[in-house]
DNA sequence: ACATCCGGTTTAATATTGCAACTACACAAG
DNA sequence: CTTGTGTAGTTGCAATATTAAACCGGATGT
């Protein structure tokens, strides 16, 4: 009864979840984007079992979200840092955060807010825009079959 | 060794994941936002076990993401539709989708693109803005402790 | 030389998942 | 009235994943 893989699915949402849609991966990525890099840092911050952490780090590296780099402090160990592909997950973290800020039942339990580093002001809410600058909600969008990429039909 | 709950966590990302951070919930929400409403529709679309679907629908209803409404077609059955809290998840789905579009190794396997219903043009990429309109990446942001909401200190 | 830290792996108990079979109800046909 | 069909689940069991805790091996500190 293997956990069904979504990797072959045509839906881009499912494909993303296949990569980091489990309980811990996104939290590891969140920690990494906050500057944590060491096995021990992740483990202490997240409080998950070490075998699971090891396993998650391994697959995140395999999938190009994290990469291992030699010790920044001269020690023998490795550190885990986000690749560009991993940093690309940032908007997803922001969207999750903002959803909680807007809808959580106990907003008083939210510990932090995200601010602009330059002036300390809260960031704006994410919004989806059309090419001509209107804000779109779900009902204003549609899914279209992806146009097939034609392979050098020229000539 | 119960699956650790993130509900009490101060991190808003963790709190969101606690609500719909498991393998299937977000896909159910995606389907719901595409207009699917019936148990059987979800089950056929997702191909998951019926007991799991029943369990996920139950908790999504409990948590105010979905609500059950009486049959829209006059039948005896119930349907599951998104609440406003559930519709608020839309930006997260968009962010996931766009991440795959940008970083997936096999973009040719992505079946659909999201377009503006009004003119059929692709939507813009989500971006995080500062109050004064600059685009912010992760490095340009910071987390600040949430300012305590003071309770009527006046007088 | 000895203890400790770091980054894991191994083990065993427990929880969750998946499949398939079964139930319950409404409705329709014969 | 009896049988059949569709929908929406529940139940039981086997397979797999998660967890906590013990263990391990190489560096480092004293």
CA atoms within 13 Å, Cβ hemisphere of B117: 9
**pLDDT over 80 at B96, yes or no:** yes
Question: Looking at the structure, do residues A56 and A70 belong to the same domain, yes or no?
Answer: yes
B65, B86 Cβ separation under 8 angstroms: yes
Please tell me whether any atom of strand C lies within 7 Å of the Cβ of A63: no
Range of the domain at B56: 12-86
Q: State residue A152's pLDDT score.
A: 66
Give the number of other CB atoms < 10 A from CB of residue A42.
22
- What's the Å distance between residue A64 CA and nucleotide C28 C1'? 56
B113, B130 Cβ separation under 8 angstroms: no
Please tell me whether any atom of strand C lies within 7 Å of the Cβ of B130: no
**Stretch B9-38: mean pLDDT:** 96
Domain contains B68? yes
Q: Are the beta carbons of B15 and A104 separated by less than 8 Å?
A: yes
Question: Looking at the structure, do residues B65 and B127 belong to the same domain, yes or no?
Answer: no
Q: What is the ipTM of this complex?
A: 0.93
Q: State residue B45's pLDDT score.
A: 96
Of chain B, the percentage scoring pLDDT greater than 90 comes to 85
Residue A33 to residue B30: CA distance in whole angstroms? 26
List the helix and strand counts (H, then E) for chain B. Answer: 6, 4
CA atoms within 13 Å, Cβ hemisphere of A21: 26
Q: State residue A2's pLDDT score.
A: 57
Query: Which helix (H) or strand (E) element contains residue A46?
Result: helix A39-46
Domain's final residue, options B23, B58, B86? B86
Burial of B59 (0-12, 13-18, 19+ CB in 10 A): middle
Question: Looking at the structure, do residues A98 and A80 belong to the same domain, yes or no?
Answer: no
Residue in this structure with the two tokens 């096999």, named with its chain if needed: B106
Neighbouring residues of A108: CB distance < 8 A, sequence distance ≥ 6 = B149
- What's the Å distance between residue A49 CA and nucleotide C12 C1'? 15
Q: How confident is the model at residue B38 (pLDDT cuts 50, 70, 90)?
A: very high
Question: Looking at the structure, do residues B81 and B34 belong to the same domain, yes or no?
Answer: yes
What does the block give as tokens for B90?
A: 């839309």
A:B CB pairs within 8 Å: 249
**pLDDT over 70 at B152, yes or no:** no
Domain contains B150? no
Q: State residue A7's pLDDT score.
A: 77
Please tell me whether any atom of strand C lies within 7 Å of the Cβ of A39: yes
Q: φ, ψ for residue A53 (rounded to 5)?
A: -60, -45
Report how many domains make up chain A. Answer: 2
Q: Are the beta carbons of A12 and B100 separated by less than 8 Å?
A: yes
Give the number of other CB atoms < 10 A from CB of residue B137.
11
What does the block give as tokens for A7?
A: 């990797």
Domain CATH code at residue A18: 1.10.10.10
Question: Looking at the structure, do residues B115 and B78 belong to the same domain, yes or no?
Answer: no
Encode burial over A99-126: b for 16+ CB neighbours within 10 A, e otherwise. Answer: bbbebbeeeeebeebbbbeeeeeebbeb
Which residue would you say has higher pLDDT here, B3 or B12? Answer: B12
List the helix and strand counts (H, then E) for chain A. Answer: 6, 4
Nearest chain A residue to B33 by CA: give it.
Answer: A138
Model confidence over A25-39: pLDDT tens digits?
999 999 999 999 999
For residue A144, which residues of chain B lie inside 8 Å, CB to CB?
A: 112-115, 120
Please tell me whether any atom of strand D lies within 7 Å of the Cβ of A49: yes
Q: How confident is the model at residue B69 (pLDDT cuts 50, 70, 90)?
A: very high
Question: Looking at the structure, do residues A28 and A82 belong to the same domain, yes or no?
Answer: yes
Cβ-nearest to B145 among A16, A111, A136 = A111
Q: Where are the alpha helices (DSSP H) in chain B?
A: 12-20, 25-33, 39-46, 50-62, 84-87, 90-103
Grouped pLDDT means (10 residues each) for chain A, 155 residues: 72 97 96 97 97 98 97 91 98 98 96 97 98 97 88 64
Question: Looking at the structure, do residues A18 and A73 belong to the same domain, yes or no?
Answer: yes
B74: left (phi over 0), alpha (psi -120 to 50) or beta: left
Residue with CA nearest C1' of nucleotide D15? A1
Cβ-nearest to A116 among B16, B130, B149 = B130
- What's the Å distance between residue B44 CA and nucleotide C29 C1'? 27
Q: State residue B6's pLDDT score.
A: 83
Q: State residue A142's pLDDT score.
A: 97
Cα distance from B38 to chain A (closest Cα, Å)? 19
Strand D proximity: list residues 19-38 of B with CB under 7 Å: 38
């Amino acid at each position: 009864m293997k956990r069904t893989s979504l990797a072959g699915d045509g839906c881009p949402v499912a494909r993303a979840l296949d990569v980091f849609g489990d309980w811990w991966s996104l939290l590891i990525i969140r920690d990494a984007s906050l500057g944590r890099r060491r096995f021990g840092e992740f483990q202490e911050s997240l409080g998950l079992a070490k075998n699971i952490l090891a396993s998650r780090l391994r697959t995140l590296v395999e999938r190009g979200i994290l990469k291992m780099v030699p010790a920044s402090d001269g020690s023998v160990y490795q550190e885990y840092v986000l690749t560009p592909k991993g940093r690309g997950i940032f908007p997803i973290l922001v969207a999750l955060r903002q959803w909680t800020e807007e809808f959580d039942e106990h907003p008083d339990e939210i510990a932090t807010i995200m601010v602009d580093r330059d002036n300390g002001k809260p960031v704006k809410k994410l919004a989806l825009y059309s090419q001509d600058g209107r804000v779109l909600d779900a009902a204003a969008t549609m899914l279209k079959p992806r146009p097939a990429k034609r392979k050098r039909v020229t000539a």
